[in-house]
A and B are shown apart, each in its own frame.
Chain A
């Protein structure tokens, strides 16, 4: 199978599957691994190698999911998690983009802030959690602030890089054509650095999402998916925990696919910054 032509064919762009294949085949192919995985899980669960309490069959997880959805608790947990995520992320986006642009535009700001940012960034976000809990108490304030603080770093770094990477020649030609500072910023620097800023926002959101679930377990918030999973452990409700993880996976996929692809299509791609 290591023959050269096959390799050549393999390295074509990844869109190769969508050419002329009917839709149902694509869907079937994507669904097949899940069916196999579920079947293996089901077989293991019914073989009773592990206690059913700890390793519930698929139908028990589905039942828990339906039960929690009908009772409205799952929706409440999800809503609180999403609110916390958006709160922290908006905080990080505003602060991160502002700091990043300042660092990219003024050398003073860059020299002053870069050392601080590069010292604080490599420390894993959750390591700050106990400190934040001490300073701001258990609950929402700590959770939102920590998520914001942690997800600000990728945004700062990427915005800074993006502003610095705007082509010198664009800036000069805009100035030659008589653009003042404000116009230069709005029409050249901002669009020019947007691909980087979006990469930063995307990484920041992923970061916020990864941290938030852990924070919810530590910060003892009354609602939230992280808390749902962590709390269910006390009562050995493995089915509830797995249902919670399914919701987390769905939100994660949705964040990536729906939120960011959309925004990118509307701005960066339309302005011709990336193809």
Chain B
């Protein structure tokens, strides 16, 4: 084979995507299924462009992003300090851990109806659901990260006369950062799932989840697919661009690369869950 593996892969990926698109198009054109339910690709494309250019889809995306960000930041503000406290103080760990392990397996969406009753329809519910979804990955990964900071580094820093503040900011935080960032990454993926569900159920009148659900009422499958594309695009962009660069400026710069790679190595390291 003369082509480089990289090129071969790109070419084959292109062929697959074209084939999948052609197959879908054939099904859509064949008239086996009602055209409203299976819109042709040009129609989806036109809808996507129309919704993007008149700004509605951008506003929906904006509302969704604001909600995700608020809930996510709230989760970081609570989860990271609490995780550090849990790792440092046995009493906090003993108190929080049982509660966390009982609450963790409850899917965040199960709280939606309860929160709707307590806080009414709208933004509060959505933000709190995102907070709930993002809290546990942040909390548990911070806790693990701080606990597994190499004790040798701590002793070395102590021997070189590092004060408490220095020990914390210069050793513990950078040392735990690969785990914390992994936690944030997982937390964001979960928030992204939760926000779509919460917007469907606790509908206010803006948001990508709401658009998709609302489009169902009017059998607008083209609108649904267009918003699916936007949701996927934003999720992908965050995963790649935001967290990728975050990892670069923190973990790699602090010389945690080897540690980061090492913790990527072990046999059954779970890949970040996505859906």
Contacts and interface: CB of A to CB of B under 8 A. Distances in A.
Real binding pair: yes
B260 to A, nearest CB: 18
A168 interface: no
A10 interface: yes
Interface residues of B, number: 77
Interface string B83-123: 00001111000111011011111111111111011100000
A7 B105 contact: no
Interface stretch (B55-63, B69-77, B220-228, B241-249): B220-228
A253 B105 contact: yes
A245 B110 contact: yes
Contact of A2 (B147, B164, B213, B221): B164
B50 interface: no
Of the listed residues B90, B106, B235, B239, the one surrounded by the most CB atoms of chain A closer than 10 A to its CB is B106
Contact of B271 (A158, A209, A245, A251): A158
Contacts of B271: 154, 157-158, 161, 199-200, 203
B42 interface: no
A157 B273 CA distance: 9
A126 B197 contact: yes
A127 interface: yes
A242 B89 CA distance: 32
Contacts of B66: none
B192 A124 contact: yes
Question: Is chain B's interface secondary structure helix, strand, loop, or mixed overall?
Answer: helix
A16 to B, nearest CB: 10
A177 B177 CA distance: 46
A10 B87 contact: yes
B31 interface: no
Question: Is chain A's interface secondary structure helix, strand, loop, or mixed overall?
Answer: helix
A249 B209 CA distance: 26
Contacts of B269: 199
B25 to A, nearest CB: 15
B51 interface: no
Contact of B224 (A4, A131, A274): A131
A236 B212 CA distance: 27
Interface of A: 1-4, 7-8, 10-11, 14, 29-34, 36-37, 50, 54-55, 111-116, 119-131, 133-135, 150-151, 153-154, 157-158, 161, 195-196, 198-200, 202-203, 206-207, 209-214, 217-218, 225-226, 229-230, 232-233, 236, 238, 241-242, 244-245, 248-249, 251-253, 255-256, 273-274
Given A55-B118, A210-B109, 14 more contacts: A119-B232, A122-B232, A127-B196, A130-B215, A134-B221, A198-B268, A202-B270, A203-B273, A210-B107, A213-B110, A214-B112, A245-B111, A248-B105, A248-B106
24 contacts: A1-B88, A4-B154, A4-B155, A4-B158, A7-B154, A8-B151, A33-B99, A34-B99, A36-B95, A111-B13, A112-B15, A112-B16, A127-B231, A130-B200, A134-B37, A134-B219, A199-B268, A214-B200, A226-B110, A230-B112, A233-B114, A242-B114, A249-B105, A274-B268
